[in-house]
Amino acid sequence: MTQFAIEKVYTQTSPGSLRAVACDPEERPVRLFTERWGGAGDRARFGAISEARLRAFADELRGAFCELPSGEQVFLRLKSREDLTEGQAIRLRIESEARFEKLARGALTEAPLKTVSGLTAWCAAIGMSSAPDVVESADRVSAAFHEALSPSVTLPRGGKLHIERTRALTAFDIDTAGRKDKGSAGARALAINQDAIGEMARQIAVRGLGGAFVLDCVSPIHASAGDRLRAFGRSAFEAMGLAPVRLLKPSDLGLLQAALPWRFTPLEDERTANPAETELLDLMRHLQREAEAIPTRFFTLLLGGRVWRAYQERKSDADQALQTHFSGRVSVKQSATDTSEVIGQ
């Protein structure tokens, strides 16, 4: 079995947010972390232990709806009511985080509660057995997040992998443009398919995806090549800490299928859950770059429309973050339009 390893964690501390990227020994991003407002009102995180209250049974779904202290709902799967009652205080382990139109899911546990930072809990949840080497690097973190939100990524030896997430599955398509492999058609196809499978596994890990996946492989794929691709895929997923994975060898149509349980909130879901707040935090990161470039300059954060409303909802947290990072160099004003921008004075 290929060993999953994280060599280093890079962080980016910005007004109102903390972002981190975990990298493998080759310095490739393999996991991403985000935390807003110091974790205040944070969502249920994978692997966390939390007190909860059972609010209502859903016998037709073989489970129950529970409420965390933050107010977030979690679905608890049950084989039976197990002597539980509505309104009862219980303790849950979060088995999967909330995602688009899906509640977080939990399981009953008697494990003790632990008070640790969100970053520390994340390190444990993604399998770090010891404290990683943590380095502040806004550039590395920004690059990793940009890649994880891109619809296409470049393969290691040329070509691209296009990624499209649908309700039913995530589809991966190989683009061979710019690729110059040598050998027979079968050898060339095997090489690019292996590169695509390895990159598919990394993108699934870094984007926090689960569910079903389909890769449209390059042909021709002979019988022996299909077996090799399946074996290679298992090793690639294990190397990304994505075991156990259900993975089939390519079909007669050249489609390689895989499936993984959901664990984390996908990055794109996290950003679209509250788009106005996301835009506000992106703007504050841009402000940070501008302020660091010209340390003596003062700035106005001009907020319009929904971003102004998002600021008002988080005014206390946002003002404190701006004061902490900029020591009075930034004023916040409402724009007369829907446009938001950073203005240097």
**Cα distance between residue 20 and residue 210, in whole Å:** 20
Residuewise pLDDT in 10s, the chain (345 residues): 456 888 899 999 999 999 999 999 899 999 999 999 999 878 999 999 999 999 999 999 999 999 999 999 999 999 999 899 999 999 999 999 999 889 999 999 999 998 888 898 899 899 886 666 789 999 999 999 999 999 999 998 999 999 999 999 999 999 998 888 888 999 999 999 999 999 999 999 999 999 999 999 999 999 899 999 999 999 999 999 998 999 999 999 999 999 999 999 999 999 999 999 999 999 999 999 999 999 999 999 999 999 999 999 999 999 999 999 999 999 999 999 999 999 998
Q: How confident is the model at residue 1, as a pLDDT?
A: 43
> Which of 274, 286, 265 has the alpha carbon at shortest distance from 344?
286
Q: Where are the domains positioned within the chain?
A: 149-267, 274-344
